[in-house]
Chains A and B, each alone.
Chain A
Amino acid sequence: MSSLYERLGGEKAVNAAVELFYRRVLADGRIARFFEDVDMEDQIAKQKSFLTMAFGGPNKYTGKDMRNAHRRLVEKGLNDSHVDAVIDNLNTTLRQLGVPETEVKEVAALANSVRDDVLGR
């Protein structure tokens, strides 16, 4: 069977989703504050690699990378409820793009798998 990343449409799918997803995140009052004061280009590149990872695409992230990347946010109060909100937005974005429910769940599970690293636990 082809990989999740291939089923979703690979890099094209990431490109189609990334701006929709980022727009949702910025408009979401629960988490928007974590994304203020960051350069939008840098941020969208990060969102893109997050989606690539969550879609099961190529990445060589280690738990340590995840911890380092989110340390500042954890200091600012990042917790489980915020990770939930991000995954919510991810699900909504995928549904908006017509991704079938099975794949939406797989993506959510992958995103969820880095939760502890992201939150530095």
Chain B
Amino acid sequence: MSLLTYMDRPVPIAPGETVLEALLRAGIEAKSSCRAGTCQTCMHRAVSGTPPEASQRGLTEAQKAMGFFLPCVCKPETPLAIAPRDDAGARREAVVRSLERLSHDIIRLRIEADDFDYRPGQFLELIADDDLKRHYSLASHPEDDPYLEMHIRLHENGRMSRRLTERLAPGHRLHVAGPSGTCFYEGVDPDQPLVLIGAGTGLAPLYGVLRDALKRGHRGPIRLYHGARDPRGLYLRDELEALAGSRENLTYRPCALDADAHLRGDVAAVALESETGLEHSAFFLCGGENLVKRLKRDLFMRGASLRAIRADAFTPGA
């Protein structure tokens, strides 16, 4: 096996040469800027092999766990197979196991795929057809669940929505690629406050992270904020209330924009109002792009470290 492989293609690399130099010499387009391991412009991902420690300096724990590294300061000594940072990986076959309603417009899709390694909270690409692909976050736990679980909002006239509701049934085959994303528990200190904020089906990855945190014995307080437009969107509420009732360190705060009395609230505002001592907490944010962007900025400006904020934003997929 050659020392360096890029997307299944062997790339010659001379002793003392960096991966970036080797890629460029082989005519592979790779972005770079500082070429000294600080700007992260050149980031790639190792799909097999372990990148040298020096090439992961400055990355977050989650990024390291995913195999991300900086080619401009990477001189591999053992074989390394790499891919661009947002490459979803090979697609594999999956079988639909079940489709259920979680609310009036959210369905729970469970599928089975062999050898699909992931961490709870990551997302995958669901491929129904070559021109019908969407990203969905995983709410399941690889050690507990024999399936991959996604929570999917149905959009009127959305192609994927129609496919899911009208044509897909248990036993049907489709494809998945991934996983991707760094929204998972890795790198969280078990004693620090863990703050999970999500809207709509942004609950899915948070649910995955929450289960993983509990399973790994997170000792610090865990606060889950879930927002929806109307209370019907607060799916899994009974289950989460029961879970919070049985765990001393877990609080669950559902809020809906069009609700009365105790449920009413904008999830971002409620979370920002309730959270203090932000510099000590780990945050996971998931929801629409605007919400995530706004929250990330507000949390950072109020003292949260950007390294402690994991976010996954989704663009509404039709």
Contact = CB atoms under 8 A, between A and B. Distances in A.
12 contacts: A22-B306, A23-B300, A26-B297, A26-B301, A40-B306, A49-B33, A52-B36, A58-B36, A59-B36, A60-B36, A61-B34, A65-B33
Interface string B286-302: 00000000001100110
Contacts of A40: 296-297, 300, 306
Contacts of A14: 38
Given A40-B296, A61-B33, A61-B34, A45 B39 contact: yes
A64 to B, nearest CB: 10
Interface of A: 11, 14, 19, 22-23, 26-27, 40-42, 44-46, 48-49, 52-53, 57-61, 65, 69
B309 to A, nearest CB: 8
Given A11-B57, A48-B58, A52-B36, 20 more contacts: A22-B306, A23-B300, A26-B300, A40-B300, A40-B306, A41-B306, A44-B306, A45-B58, A46-B39, A48-B38, A49-B33, A49-B38, A49-B39, A53-B34, A57-B38, A59-B38, A60-B36, A61-B33, A61-B34, A69-B33
A61 to B, nearest CB: 6
Do most interface residues of chain A lie in helix, strand or loop, or is the interface mixed?
helix
B5 interface: no
B303 to A, nearest CB: 8
Contact of A19 (B34, B40, B57, B305): B305
Contacts of B41: 45
Contact of A48 (B39, B296, B297, B300): B39
B253 interface: no
Interface in B33-66: 33-41, 57-58
Contacts of B301: 23, 26-27
A40 B40 CA distance: 13
